[in-house]
Structure 1
Amino acid sequence: MAAINQCIASLSRIGLGTASRPVYATVPLFLAPAIIQTRWKGGPSAGTMAMRARQKEKLKAKLKRKQSRFKEYKYAVASHEERFTLCDAMRYLRAAEVGRPPASATYEIAMRVRTPKNSPVLRSRIQLPYPVKSDTRIAVICKEGSGAMQDARAGGAVAFGEETLFQLIKDNPNDLPFNRLICHADSEPALKKAGLGRILGPKGLMPSLKTNTITRSVKTLMQEMAGAENYRERIGSIRMPIGNIQFTPRQLSENIRALVASVKSNMVRLEEKVKKDMIEIALSSSNGPGFPLSGGFNSTDEKVQPAHLSTAM
């Protein structure tokens, strides 16, 4: 009987002893067994259905905030700087160009456009009422002896042909005799085969359908290109020369109006695909700062008239 009681007492001491602490509380997580790691990571067997649903909603909300944060370009906001009339902006920019050759200084326009990322960009060619550049030199890629070659020669192209023109580009990649290049539709396969993208691409001269430089009417396209300027939207902004520093306020105003009308018409054309808004227009010069325009024309200083800004510098 005494032996039985002693055995029961021993079993009681074992049962009442302090329980060992869980492995995952004393051992680092990466050393714990796989089942414990799964539980701590919130796997299928961890937590309740409500807990998993809340975690899923948090992740979705976080992703949504991240996407909405970078939905538009950071430049697509109007500046808080003072706005100027056209004559006031021209007055300050002409002062910034004093002492420099007038022929080398130009007015430049910058348009800020509110647009979603990865959306179709605004791009086109415009023939301004008063051309900024008069040194347009056009080369034409066309078949030897074709009607397109005759049109190119009659239109004053500085170079034309296929293999001869391709060789000219390869031999003089940094000293091309032209600043505009168009291609006849029949010569497009030869252009692709020539592999000139590395030379012409960085210069913005590679003919393509997007830039409307591949055509079946060389004569018509050459007439459109004479004195025309290309513009393209980049990261929510459109920048291009808009006039020479010697332009009068009226000349510069007509060029700006023509460009704004062209950009807005392109916005309407893309309205079914994406919504774009023009939020600010700024005028600068080759060596001067940018002045946001208010839309007014006359100077705020009554002593400064448009005629005062129409004289040669």
Structure 2
Amino acid sequence: MAKVAKRTAAARAQFTGKTNLTVEDAVKLIKTAASAKFDETLEIAMNLGVDPRHADQMVRGVVQLPNGTGKVVRVAVFARGAKADEATAAGADIVGAEELAATIQSGKIEFDRCIATPDMMPLVGRLGKILGPRNLMPNPKVGTVTMDVKTAIAAAKGGEVQFKVEKAGVIHGGIGKVSFTEEALAQNVRAFVEAVTKARPAGAKGTYVKKVSLSSTMGPGVSLDVASAAAH
């Protein structure tokens, strides 16, 4: 049997018997228990009553967190000419066309968000098998296929989080750093839950949000009272 580290055991002890907490209580508990040597990320997981194998039950979208993610986001933009210049001026980390596609095909992916102008999609589409599994494929539904590259770059770097339901009906994302204030984290939690709730697909039947849980990168998870998570 694997030996449990003292830090892990101590953290788990603080969570024992605590379930269905309010957002504020859960955030306070996680901040208190976080003991890693780095600034851990607050992670959220939502179990939804959907089967994403059916097209009318797919859930995906984007949310602008009111207090950002605390993470430095590297942005790559597929564009040519004036739009490439606009992307560079707007702070994109990587800008290119065929040469950028070749770099990605070689396995070198040094960005966290990929944006493309519509005219570049025939080229970007060839990278679907590489970018798709990493949730990096530009998509007009979440604003990453656009002529307004300046706004898209600003959103990506300013705390925008994309979400997409996985096969098991779960959505998860990083929504801030444990070093944030309790109030800031609670606001981010509710913004994320609200965005997923609004993205409810037409094919969803019965209870849509079944469970919401929070955890830090290295810490145990705790379930939230769904009503508290959905409150404004």
The interval holding the TM-score normalised by the smaller chain is: 0.7 to 0.9
- Aligned residue number for residue 120 of structure 1: 57
**Cα gap change, 1:199/1:236 in structure 2, threshold over 3 Å: closer, same or farther?**
closer
- Classify the secondary structure of the residue corresponding to 2:68: coil
Q: Secondary structure at the match of 2:85?
A: helix
Quote the offset at 1:211 in angstroms.
Answer: 4.4
| 2:218 match | 287
Q: Which residue of 1 aligns with 2:4?
A: none
SS at match of 1:108: strand
3-state DSSP of counterpart to 2:134: coil
- Counterpart for residue 37 of structure 2: 101
Whether 1:138 aligns to 2:70 is no
How many angstroms does 1:149 deviate by?
Answer: 1.1
Among 177, 181, 186, the residue aligned to 1:244: 177
Deviation at 1:198, TM superposition (A): 3.4
Change (3 A) 1:236 1:162: same
Determine if the alignment matches structure 1 residue 215 to structure 2 residue 146. yes
Structure 1 position 228, deviation (Å): 1.0
For 1:233, which of 154, 165, 187 is the aligned residue? 165
Aligned to 1:224, the other structure's residue is in SS state helix
Percent of aligned pairs with the same residue? 31
Q: Highest relative contact order (Cα 8 Å, sep 6+), 1 or 2? A: 2
- Cα distance between partner residues in 1 of 2:135 and 2:223: 28
1:131 and 1:291 map into 2 onto residues whose CA distance is: 22
Taking structure 2 as the reference length, the TM-score comes to 0.78
Residues 156-196 of structure 1 show CA distances to partners (whole Å, capped at 9, x for unaligned) of 1122121221233234x24x33211111111112223xx32
Cα distance, 1:210 vs. partner?
A: 4.6
- The residue that corresponds to 2:130 in the other structure is 199
> What is aligned with 1:300?
none
Counterparts of 1:181-192 in structure 2, within 5 Å, are 181-192=114-125
Tell me how far apart the structure 2 counterparts of residues 116 and 142 of structure 1 sit (CA, whole Å). 36
Q: For the Cα contact (< 8 Å) 1:109–1:242, is it kept in 2? A: yes
SS of residue matched to 1:198: helix
| Secondary structure in structure 1 of the residue aligned to 2:188 | helix
Residue matched to 1:59: none
Secondary structure of 1:131's counterpart equals coil
**1:154, distance to aligned residue in structure 2 (A):** 1.0
Q: In the TM superposition, what is the alpha-carbon distance from 1:141 to its structure 2 partner?
A: 0.7
| TM-score of the aligned structures, taking structure 1 as reference length | 0.59
Distance 1:182 1:257 in 2: 27
Deviation at 1:246, TM superposition (A): 0.9
The alignment partner of 2:67 has SS state of coil
Is the partner of 2:153 in helix, strand or coil?
Answer: helix
Secondary structure at 1:83's aligned position in 2? Answer: coil
| Aligned amino acid, residue 153 of structure 1 | T
Separation in structure 2 between the aligned mates of residue 90 and residue 217 of structure 1, nearest angstrom: 36
Q: Residue 158 of structure 1 aligns with which residue?
A: 93
Which stretches in structure 2 are left out of the alignment for 5+ residues? 1-16
Question: Structure 1 counterpart of 2:182, which letter?
Answer: P
1:82 to 3, 14, 19: 19
Q: 197-206 vs 146-155, which deviates more?
A: 197-206
d(CA) in 2 for partners of 1:278 and 1:141?
A: 36
The residue aligned with 1:43 is none
Q: Which amino acid aligns with 1:266?
A: A
Unaligned runs of 5+ in 1: 1-79, 298-313
